[in-house]
Amino acid sequence: MSAPAAIATTARLRLRELHEGDAAFMLELLNQPDFLRFIGDRGVRDLEQARAYLREGPLAGYGRDGMGMYAVEPRQGGAAIGLCGLVVREGLPRPDIGFAFLPQFYGQGYAFEAASATLALARDAFALRKVLAIVSPDNARSIALLRRLGLRDAGSVRLPGKDEDILLFETAEDWRCATTSS
C-alpha cells in the first residue's frame, strides 16, 4: 500500500488519514496510562480490536463527516507519534479538536504544531467558523495547550451517556491560528 496523502504538513510533522495498518500504533496509544485516565478506556486490547476501532471510529468518520482524527508522523518519515484532528461528536454543536500523543513525544512541541495545523485546516479547508475542544478538568497539560492555541474557556458540558462534566473550550468567532501549516 502506498503512503496516504498528507492532510497537512508543518515544519516537522505530517498529518494523514489513519488506515487499518495503523492498528499496532492505535493499540499502543489507546492503552497508555494518560489516554486511559484523561480520554477513556476504549476496550481495545489486541490488534483485531484495534483494526475494528479504526474501521468503526476514525475511518467511518472520514466518510460520514469528511473529517476525523489523523495520524501525526515525522515529516521526513517514520512511525506515527500521535493523533490530532477534528471530531463531530454527539452532544456538541460543532466539531471539536482532539489530540493524543505517545508519552515519549511529550514536551517537544509536537502537539502544539499538529493542533495549529489542524486549526488551520478547520478554518481554511473546512471553513469552520468556530472549533470546540473538550478536556478533563484534571488534564492540566491539555488545558494549557488549548489556551496556548488561543482557545478560550466556555464553561463545561456533559456528553450523552457520560456521568461527569468536562471542560469546554472554543475558538473566538474571528479566530486565527497561532501558527499556520506550510
User: pLDDT tens, 4-28?
Assistant: 788 999 999 999 999 999 999 999 9
C-beta contacts of 48-53 below 8 A and 24+ residues apart: 50/23, 50/24, 50/26, 51/20, 51/23, 53/26
CB count within 10 Å of CB 61 equals 20
Task: Kindly state whether residue 165 falls inside one of the protein's structural domains.
Answer: yes
On the question of pLDDT at 2 being above 60, the answer is no
Task: Kindly state whether residue 122 falls inside one of the protein's structural domains.
Answer: yes
Cα–Cα distance, 142 to 136 (Å, whole number): 9
| pLDDT grade for 110, boundaries at 50, 70 and 90 | very high
pLDDT over 90 for what percent of the chain? 89
pLDDT of 172: 81
Task: Kindly state whether residue 114 falls inside one of the protein's structural domains.
Answer: yes
Q: How many helices (H) and strands (E) does the chain have?
A: 6, 8
Residue span of the structural domain in which 83 resides:
6-170
Stated as kind and residue range, the H or E segment containing 156 is strand 152-157
Cα–Cα distance, 131 to 117 (Å, whole number): 13
Indicate the number of domains in the chain: 1
Q: What is the CATH number of the domain that holds 118?
A: 3.40.630.30
User: pLDDT tens, 67-95?
Assistant: 999 999 999 999 999 999 999 999 999 99
| Residues 128 and 176: beta-carbon distance below 8 Å | no
- Among the residue ranges 57-71, 141-155, 166-180, the one predicted with the least confidence is 166-180
Task: Kindly state whether residue 116 falls inside one of the protein's structural domains.
Answer: yes
| Of 132, 118, 112, 135, the residue nearest 172 (C-alpha) | 132
Task: Kindly state whether residue 181 falls inside one of the protein's structural domains.
Answer: no
Cα–Cα distance, 38 to 85 (Å, whole number): 17
pLDDT of 23: 98
